[in-house]
Structure 1
Amino acid sequence: MAGRSGFGSTATMIVTNTPAKDLAYTNFAYCSPSDLRSFSVSGSKLAFALVGDSFVLSVSAHESIPNGHIALNAIQRRHAKVSTGDSVSVSRFIPPDDFNLALLTLELEFVKKGTKDEQVDAVLLAQQIRKRFINQVMTTGQRVTIEYHGNGYIFTVNQAGVEGQVKSNSMERGMISPDTYIVFQASNSSGIKIVNGPEVLSKFVGETEKNVRDLFADAEQDQRTQGDQSDLHVIIFDEIDAICKSRGSTRDGTGVHDSIVNQLLTKIDGVESLNNVLLIGMTNRKDLLDEALLRPGRLEVQVEISLPDEPGRLQILQIHTNKMKENSFLAPDVNLQELAARTKNYSGAELEGVVKSAVSYALNRQLNMDDLTKPVDEESIKVTMEDFLNAVSEVRPAFGASTTDLDRCRLNGMMDCGARHDHIYKRTMLLAEQVRVSKGSPLVTCLLEGPSGSGKTAMAATVGIDSDFPYVKIISAESMIGLSESSKCAQIVKVFEDAYKSPLSIIILDDIERLLEYVAIGPRFSNIISQTLLVLLKRLPPKGKNVLVIGTTSEVGFLDSVGICDSFSITYHLPKLKTEDARKVLQQLNVFSKDDVDAAAEALNDMPIKKLFMVVEMAAQGEHGGGAEAIYEGKARINISHFYDCLQDIVRY
């Protein structure tokens, strides 16, 4: 389908090779700068050539191409049935209006025959194709080369549908735009069809359901002709949640998602259900799937692939470093066993990212920043243990204990704040141990209450870190700024759902009154979030999963009035510091002379620990203090009179 297009006069040009290897992957044809004017589209920077009445190529100028010559890569020459030195007819192509491709179906194969077991993320590849070949014209039957993640691929255009255009017997072609849907097909020799859920969707009414039916067409034909002797057909839906959401949950006005589910259910176990199909769906949002899809006879076998344990992480690291070791790129000090222990909660993809990041650190040492053209001495490249440790610091796991967030909750660390604080810390750690070993307490909840600044959040974070649980997450109001009530509830639920995937988890509900949007005047709060927490605090985790929930609040009276206090197994009160407690903290900080410690401690009686740190840091900024950073180095010496002045400011305001 050429469309209503304008053609310049046909010329004969001599075929030559693409001037550089990297240009072969651009899918451009190249000509001399003077010849480029013959292919330019008026009022545009684009230039197109219809080559041999078969396909349209974007054209660019190159100084090395003589006049009257056109440079084509090997795939283009093969498709045009010409060789270097042959003549080929070429004419200018002017794209018609409404020429953007709505759907592009591509069959993928390797440039080098025999390449096997290479996994390709079809969604990312589609993004790359849209980016690299934007505004290029694709014609059915055309073959194009692309380099992706170090491998050379060839894709053949099987379908090129322009939106609003009725399919005809003429040649189909159109221009790639950012909105082009790209669907990949495996070659017929593979025996598998691989489908990405998002790519099944179509903007054409009824087209999406047709795409689903087409997936089963070969299997239906085999069953009709061969019966029980039919070969097994494997259909894999990646990101199946994109197309099989619960019916009625999507309000887009079209009902297309509901139709997809209905169509798929019909194919799986309808009147003409197929017995020669193995259907595999993959998702990380099982909760979004329609329940009917998970019933017996459908996707009934559900396998949860959890994060790798330490032996699994070691195997993954060995796989990704095996070639490095064989080629002597791995330094002798690299300890994969230690790295496996350090990378708790890392997924396989994240471990691969650690290895790549470590290689980047090693390569950076070989780069000469004063002369970037200087070649890299590959023989001297060694990836060291330090490179891997830097990579682990750079690549953080998306799942599990968020140590950065927890450390931010206790900037001053944990100090001996007296017998009461120490007792509560030990009792809370015992609760964590109870969760770890108990068979009858899969859910334990603990509320830390006390005045603002009394160290509740710091203690909860310390328990989270010291417990060494694989999953520790903190839910705080500051991470939900700007979210609606329903969005906050969804985020809270997701943290709990993620916790249920780990054998041992700690969830910290920090400042619960702020999570509930509590306002003292009224009082007013979010009933939706309150009800969500009440349900989650009483819902038992799945079998084999144990959870400790630690809540903190400065408004225990309010929480009691709305029934949340009753949802916690135990409540501990963190008090303000008494004189003897303050003395212990000051002695550990070592910021006063021995003669002044008792007087300062007496002045700090009935002071929250957070305010103690504040007044001490303020006093350390004085003339003789040495600065706040000197406090934690044990070098600060605070003048007692200046300390009293700062304390008056704290008390006054």
Structure 2
Amino acid sequence: MFRVRKAPSEEHTLANFAYVNKGDFDAGRVKHVTVQTGPARHYIFSIRNDPQIKPGEIAFGVPHRQWAVLSLDQEVRVSPFTFQSSEYVGSIVLSADFNNKKNVTAEPLNADLMAREFSIQFGGQAFSKTMKMAFRFEDKEKNKVHTLSLVVKSIEGFDVNKAAIAANGGGADENAAKPKQIDAGELLPNSVIVFDKEEGSMLNLIGKSKGKSAYRSIINPNWNFQEMGIGGLDKEFSNIFRRAFASRVFPPEFIEQLGMKHVRGILLYGPPGTGKTLMARQIGKMLNAREPKIVNGPQILDKYVGESESNVRKLFADAEEEWRRCGANSGLHIIIFDEIDAICKQRGSMAGSSSVHDTVVNQLLSKMDGVEQLNNILVIGMTNRRDMIDEALLRPGRLEVQMEVSLPDEFGRLQILRIHTARMREYNKMDPKVDLEDLSKRTKNFSGAELEGLVRAAQSSAMSRLVKAGGKAQADPDAIEKLVVNSGDFDYALENDVKPAFGRSDESLNRFLARGMILWGPEVTQILDEGSLLAETVKNPESIGFRTAVLAGAAKTGTTSLAAQICKSSDFPFVKVFSPTETAGFSESAKCMALKKAFEDAKRSKLSVLLIDNLERLIDYHPVGPRFSNLVIQTLMLLLNDPPPIGHRLLVIATSSNRSFLRDMGLMDVFGRVIDVPRLSTADQMINVIRESNIYSEDQLQAIEHKLRSFVEGRTFGVGIKHLLELIDSARQCEPEYRVSALLSMIENIALNLF
């Protein structure tokens, strides 16, 4: 039995503890006790040791004695108490009033700042319904101190184990993870705190934490991605929760017992428009943390010496102050860096600069995982150039969770399309015949931003039908209400308005295939079959998913057209054409960077084909000397030996008009397959091409064939198909009666020049 005593001072009362001697209960081992004052009358208190309290005594502040109806010298039964996993505070509603009527003020008090201060002062303590307490709030903005009287009106608790499983994508019962009303619970650093004004009070509260708010748990198990405008990122969210947030659901003492440190940093990287920034912003809203600080990387930089580093320190100042005051009971502070590569480039990479970038990186490193380590921060960085980030930032303890936000798959694209058409469907502004599933299949390699742009383009197409032509563009008022976006609008937008950045280079391929594909002999069919086999091998899930090949033939033998046909027939969602004309005038290093970017872009797509045209021109090869760019050759060799990431598949096809060049440069061994493209060497092959031109009659074709057979017989003769097509175009300009002789004369001249 213990005797009731009063708290030694006002400071003891404001701390909201019951005080006992360490010999009775060691507060380092026992956090809470239950005080029994009579039959069925139990009250839970958090305890603290104080040497002023004698053994067999327990001291309370006035609010606690009023709540539990305790009188001085009263004997009570005290025993240790431990909360169950389902008795942790998700949200608590407190009724507030001024403690002293003499200090009443009409000035508004910021309930958000009050909630933060309450969490800092009382994190980890026990609270029960109807409990009374005193709360001292220091309003730093107005430099005033207010003492408030609080009464606990309601508590919503949740099960930390089941909430963690739900957040991690586990199969826990959906209702089990939902919050429920409880009589008592332990306050967590991220518990939601809501202040209500006591009836008849003069208290003036402002802020989001004022009044009756909707419940927000630390991690809401019923989080709806589509309502927040997020689609196709379910897997990424699940992985981030597992690594970064599951540990933050548990009480601080559990984490301390494990000796665990929370994840302090997440790096989201991937192609532009895939939802990295959107995901980071929604993470900040999903968690009951301090208001996220969102900053673009370039905003940190300042022209004055030391200001950039100071800007970084200011971002962490609030978290540092709270950590010094509360330690493990501190709430979570989120700092979001958009375009983090702007300030965190590899140190030493900015030649000739003032080293501002280096010192900013150093400052960020020290704040995230320096001598004074913080366990209450989460830094989220976003970039589409992960290779530019300083490697020291990517190790464990800093941006250790690195999540690629890649292009959405078919299911993800369907989710995104449903999100962006939801409002139209709600108001019957979209034709029910629009098949979103079919659209998701036709939009391979579209990013989330491009899908949103596709919907906007379809809407614009629909609205343009209502605009009257004339001196003033105006819409028909009678037709506006009948406006409906139909399948034709989406088809038009898909064909004309929106093209994916990581899509097919159909314009380049069609330019190479302007004359079509002429099957002049079985040799052409065999080359196309080999190319088709390479594409199928890359697609095969049992293969490594990476093949390289080069089409080698003499000049004007159609190597580029054959390569373009192979790429087009592969039906890969991403087709990239890298031509030397794109890098004309580039320096060696600039050409290497362009080549490297082409490979990186190809590797971002799940299924890609990269066409590298005219290798000789790419490396500046000339037989006189010989002259060539060794830097470009070495870069090309390295890239051709570097497979794509796991789950990504890549086919690389190159063309060359000089087989000996490939051998001399060592490229024959680098390419996995060398496909020879021959010249036309027989009369039948040439006649097949001439017949496709449709400028000769059947009698003329027979005359040409007879002459060619007699001319070619016994000769080693060959002409490239592109060269022969040029001769046919020249003969087309002659009068019809001279076209046969003109063509034969030009073919004979080629043979005489060759031999």
Q: Normalised by the size of structure 1, how large is the TM-score?
A: 0.66
Amino acid at match of 1:612: L
What whole-Å deviation, never above 9, does each CA across 1:67-104 have from its counterpart, x for those lacking one? xxxxxxxxxxxxxxxxxxxxxxxxxxxxxxxxxxxxxx
**Match of residue 448, structure 1, among 551, 554, 579:** 551
**Structure 1 contact 313–348 (Cα < 8 Å) conserved:** yes
What whole-Å deviation, never above 9, does each CA across 1:387-409 have from its counterpart, x for those lacking one? 22221122111113322222222
- In structure 2, the residue matched to 1:386 is 488
State the 1:232 CA deviation: 0.6
SS at match of 1:323: helix
What whole-Å deviation, never above 9, does each CA across 1:308-362 have from its counterpart, x for those lacking one? 1122112211211221222232234432222222211111111111111122222
- In structure 1, the residue matched to 2:647 is 544
Query: Within 5 Å, which residues of 2 pair with 1:351-430?
Result: 351-372=451-472, 374-377=474-477, 378-393=480-495, 394-430=497-533
**Match of residue 266, structure 1, among 366, 389, 403:** 366
State the 1:496 CA deviation: 1.4
**Which of these two proteins has the greater Rg computed from alpha carbons?**
2
- In structure 2, the residue matched to 1:592 is 696
SS at match of 1:498: helix
1:347 paired with 2:450, answer no
What whole-Å deviation, never above 9, does each CA across 1:591-625 have from its counterpart, x for those lacking one? 32112224445659732111232233333445559
| CA distance in 1 between partners of 2:688 and 2:395 (Å) | 62
- In structure 2, the residue matched to 1:132 is none
Amino acid at match of 2:334: V
Q: Normalised by the size of structure 2, how large is the TM-score?
A: 0.58
- In structure 2, the residue matched to 1:518 is 621
- In structure 1, the residue matched to 2:610 is 507
State the 1:376 CA deviation: 4.1
| CA distance in 2 between partners of 1:538 and 1:560 (Å) | 17
Query: Within 5 Å, which residues of 2 pair with 1:186-205?
Result: 191-205=291-305
1:313 paired with 2:413, answer yes
State the 1:449 CA deviation: 0.6
| CA distance in 1 between partners of 2:690 and 2:422 (Å) | 53
Relative distance call for 1:227 and 1:365 in structure 2 (3 A) is same
Amino acid at match of 1:606: G
| CA distance in 2 between partners of 1:417 and 1:399 (Å) | 34
Query: Within 5 Å, which residues of 2 pair with 1:86-165?
Result: none
**Structure 2 contact 693–728 (Cα < 8 Å) conserved:** no
| CA distance in 2 between partners of 1:294 and 1:621 (Å) | 66
Relative distance call for 1:222 and 1:600 in structure 2 (3 A) is farther
SS at match of 1:566: coil
**Structure 2 contact 534–547 (Cα < 8 Å) conserved:** yes
State the 1:435 CA deviation: 1.7
**Structure 2 contact 553–678 (Cα < 8 Å) conserved:** yes
**Match of residue 576, structure 1, among 679, 683, 691:** 679
Question: Kindly, what percent of the aligned residue pairs are identical?
Answer: 45
**Structure 2 contact 289–331 (Cα < 8 Å) conserved:** no
**Structure 1 contact 330–384 (Cα < 8 Å) conserved:** yes
**Match of residue 610, structure 1, among 722, 743, 747:** 722
| CA distance in 1 between partners of 2:229 and 2:565 (Å) | 44
| CA distance in 2 between partners of 1:454 and 1:542 (Å) | 35
**Structure 1 contact 583–598 (Cα < 8 Å) conserved:** no
**Match of residue 293, structure 1, among 361, 382, 393:** 393
| CA distance in 2 between partners of 1:196 and 1:263 (Å) | 17
| CA distance in 1 between partners of 2:523 and 2:674 (Å) | 14
State the 1:644 CA deviation: 4.5
Relative distance call for 1:256 and 1:388 in structure 2 (3 A) is same
**Structure 2 contact 289–333 (Cα < 8 Å) conserved:** no
**Structure 2 contact 454–493 (Cα < 8 Å) conserved:** yes
| CA distance in 2 between partners of 1:488 and 1:428 (Å) | 27
| CA distance in 2 between partners of 1:473 and 1:117 (Å) | 34
**Structure 1 contact 507–549 (Cα < 8 Å) conserved:** yes
What whole-Å deviation, never above 9, does each CA across 1:468-494 have from its counterpart, x for those lacking one? 223321221011112111011011111
- In structure 2, the residue matched to 1:241 is 341
1:338 paired with 2:468, answer no
Ranges in structure 2 where 5+ consecutive residues have no aligned partner: 1-207, 214-226, 231-280
**Structure 2 contact 466–475 (Cα < 8 Å) conserved:** no
**Structure 2 contact 502–605 (Cα < 8 Å) conserved:** no
SS at match of 2:660: helix
**Structure 2 contact 621–627 (Cα < 8 Å) conserved:** yes
| CA distance in 1 between partners of 2:654 and 2:405 (Å) | 30
**Structure 2 contact 467–473 (Cα < 8 Å) conserved:** no
How many positions carry a matched residue from both structures? 463
RMSD: 2.9
What whole-Å deviation, never above 9, does each CA across 1:429-462 have from its counterpart, x for those lacking one? 1122112216454432212111111111111111
Relative distance call for 1:594 and 1:376 in structure 2 (3 A) is same
Amino acid at match of 1:449: A
| CA distance in 2 between partners of 1:233 and 1:488 (Å) | 44
**Structure 1 contact 453–610 (Cα < 8 Å) conserved:** yes
Relative distance call for 1:235 and 1:312 in structure 2 (3 A) is same
